[in-house]
C-alpha cells in the first residue's frame, strides 16, 4: 500500500485515508438519517398533535428542510472561520454545533408540555444542525481523490458515497430495535430520544480520527485543499459550480423518496407496520452499498458519464413501480435503494476535477451545499403534498423533475467539455 509522508515525518497510508473518509461520512449520515426517520414517525405526533396527521407530517417535513437551507449559510460562515483559525478548528467548531443541537433535540419537550415553543425550539435546533453540517465540510473526499491511483478514479470516488447507505443502515437498525422492543407509548415518550444521544457519542469518536487526518500534510500541491477568495470563485468558476450543483439532482431527489417518504406514506395511507418498512429499508440499504460499489467498478470501465446516463434513465423506470408502496412496498424500496446506490455513487464526482486546483476545495464545498438544498431538502414534503393532492402516482413527478434536471445538465456539461477539448 502506498504511503504518503508529511512534513512531520508521520506516515499516512491509503488505508488510513479510506477508513477515515468512510467513518466520517457514515457518522455524518447516521445523524442525518436519525433526524430524517424521526421527522416521519415521531415529530408529527410529538410536536404537531393539534393538526391532522397529514398536515402534521407536512409541517414536520417543512422543518426537515431547514438544515438544508442553513448549509449554504454555514459554508459562508465556515470560510471566515477557516481563514482565521484553520480548517481543523473550523471542522471542530462545526461538529460541536452539530453535536450539541442533536443532543438538544433529544431533550426537547413535546407540544403537550411546552406548547408552541416546542416546534419553535425544534426549528432552531434543526437550523443549527444545518449550520454544523454545512460548516463541517472537510475536503477529505478531495484528499482521497488526489491520492487515488489514476486508473481507479471511479472506484475511489465512490468510497465516500458509501457513507449514505451505511449511515442509513445504522440509523434504521437503531429505530428497528427501539420500535421492536418498546411499546408505542414507551417509544414516543423516551425511546426515540436514545437515537439522538447515540449520534453525539458516535460523532465524538469519529471526530478524533477525522482531525488526525486533517492535520496530516500529504506533501505536494496543497492548493486543492485551500479556500479561495469567494468573489473570484464566483466570477471565474460559476459554470462548474452550476454544473456541480444540478448534475446529481436525480440521485438526491431519489435519496429521500426511498428513505423518508415510504415511512410517512405507510403511516398515513396504509396498514403496514412501521417495523416492516424499516426492515425493507434495511435490506434495501444493503443493496444500496452494492450499487455504490458497482458504480465505481463500472465508472473505471465505461466512464462516469456513461454510468450517470444509465442510472438516470433507470430512475424513469423506477417511477413506474411507485404504486407498489400501497400493497407491496418492498418492491419500490429494494429497487429504489439499489438504483440510489448506483446513481449516487458517481453523481458528485464528475465535475470537481474540472475546477482549477486553487478553486477545487471552495467550489466543491459551495456546490455540495447547493445540491442538497435544491435536490433533497424538499423531497419528502413535495412527495407528500403531491400524493395528498393527486394520489401516489403524482409523487413520481418529483423524481422525474430530478431526472430532467440531471439529464439537461449532463448534456450541457458534455457539450462544454467538448468545446474545452476542441
Residue 94, domain CATH:
1.20.1250.20
| Inside any domain, residue 2 | no
Report if residue 256 sits inside a domain: yes
Q: Is residue 5 part of a domain?
A: no
Residue pLDDT, tens place only, 224-283:
566 778 888 888 888 888 988 999 999 999 989 999 999 999 999 999 999 999 999 999
Q: Is residue 44 part of a domain?
A: yes
User: Is the pLDDT reported for residue 186 higher than 90?
Assistant: yes
Q: What is the mean pLDDT of residues 152-160?
A: 82
Q: Is residue 208, in this structure, part of any structural domain at all?
A: yes
Angle (CA) 38-186-65 rounded to 5° is 10
Q: Per the domain annotation, does 4 fall within a domain?
A: no
> Does position 212 have pLDDT exceeding 90, yes or no?
no
The pLDDT assigned to 359 comes to: 84
Question: What are 97-128's pLDDT values in tens digits?
Answer: 888 898 899 999 999 999 999 999 999 999 99
Residue 1 covered by a domain? no
Give the structural domain span for 21.
Answer: 10-421
Domain count, the chain: 1
In Å, how far from its chain's centre is CA 93?
A: 20
Q: pLDDT: is 96 or 82 the higher one? A: 96
Task: Answer yes or no: is 406 within a domain.
Answer: yes
Q: Which residue has the higher pLDDT, 218 or 87?
A: 87
Amino acid at each position: 500500500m502506498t504511503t504518503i509522508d508529511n512534513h512531520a515525518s508521520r506516515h499516512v497510508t491509503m488505508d488510513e485515508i479510506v477508513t477515515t473518509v468512510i467513518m466520517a461520512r457514515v457518522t455524518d449520515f447516521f445523524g442525518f438519517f436519525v433526524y430524517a426517520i424521526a421527522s416521519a414517525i415521531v415529530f408529527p405526533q410529538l410536536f404537531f398533535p393539534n393538526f391532522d396527521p397529514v398536515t402534521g407530517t407536512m409541517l414536520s417535513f417543512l422543518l426537515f428542510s431547514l438544515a438544508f437551507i442553513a448549509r449554504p449559510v454555514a459554508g459562508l460562515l465556515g470560510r471566515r472561520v477557516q481563514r482565521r483559525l484553520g480548517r481543523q478548528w473550523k471542522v471542530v467548531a462545526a461538529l460541536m454545533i452539530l453535536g450539541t443541537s442533536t443532543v438538544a433535540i433529544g431533550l426537547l419537550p413535546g407540544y403537550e408540555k411546552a406548547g408552541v415553543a416546542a416546534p419553535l425550539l425544534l426549528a432552531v435546533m434543526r437550523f443549527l444542525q444545518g449550520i454544523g453540517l454545512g460548516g463541517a465540510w472537510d475536503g477529505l473526499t478531495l484528499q482521497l481523490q488526489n491520492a487515488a491511483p489514476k486508473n481507479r478514479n471511479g472506484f475511489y470516488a465512490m468510497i465516500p458515497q458509501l457513507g449514505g447507505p451505511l449511515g442509513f443502515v445504522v440509523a434504521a437498525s437503531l429505530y428497528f430495535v427501539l420500535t421492536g422492543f418498546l411499546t408505542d407509548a414507551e417509544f414516543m415518550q423516551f425511546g426515540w430520544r436514545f437515537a439522538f444521544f447515540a449520534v453525539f457519542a458516535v460523532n465524538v469518536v469519529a471526530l478524533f480520527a477525522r482531525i488526525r487526518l486533517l492535520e496530516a500534510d500529504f506533501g505536494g500541491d496543497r492548493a486543492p485543499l485551500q479556500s479561495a477568495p469567494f468573489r473570484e470563485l464566483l466570477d471565474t468558476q460559476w459554470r462548474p459550480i452550476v454544473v456541480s450543483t444540478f448534475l446529481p439532482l436525480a440521485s438526491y431527489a431519489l435519496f429521500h423518496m426511498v428513505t423518508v417518504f415510504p415511512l410517512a406514506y405507510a403511516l398515513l395511507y396504509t396498514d403496514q407496520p412501521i417495523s416492516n418498512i424499516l426492515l425493507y429499508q434495511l435490506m434495501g440499504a444493503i443493496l444500496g452499498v452494492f450499487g455504490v460499489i458497482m458504480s465505481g467498478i463500472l465508472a473505471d470501465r465505461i466512464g462516469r458519464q456513461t454510468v450517470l446516463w444509465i442510472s438516470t434513465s433507470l430512475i424513469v423506470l423506477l417511477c413506474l413501480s411507485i404504486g407498489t408502496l400501497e400493497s407491496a412496498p418492498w418492491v419500490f424500496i429494494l429497487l429504489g435503494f439499489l438504483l440510489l446506490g448506483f446513481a449516487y455513487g458517481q453523481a458528485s464526482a464528475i465535475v470537481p476535477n474540472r475546477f482549477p486546483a486553487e478553486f477545487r476545495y471552495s467550489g466543491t464545498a459551495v456546490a455540495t451545499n447547493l445540491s442538497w438544498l435544491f435536490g433533497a431538502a424538499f423531497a419528502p414534503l413535495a412527495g407528500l403534498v403531491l400524493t395528498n393532492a393527486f394520489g401516489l402516482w403524482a409523487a413520481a413527478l418529483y423524481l422525474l423533475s430530478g431526472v430532467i434536471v440531471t439529464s439537461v445538465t449532463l448534456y450541457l456539461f458534455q457539450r462544454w467539455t467538448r468545446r474545452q477539448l476542441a
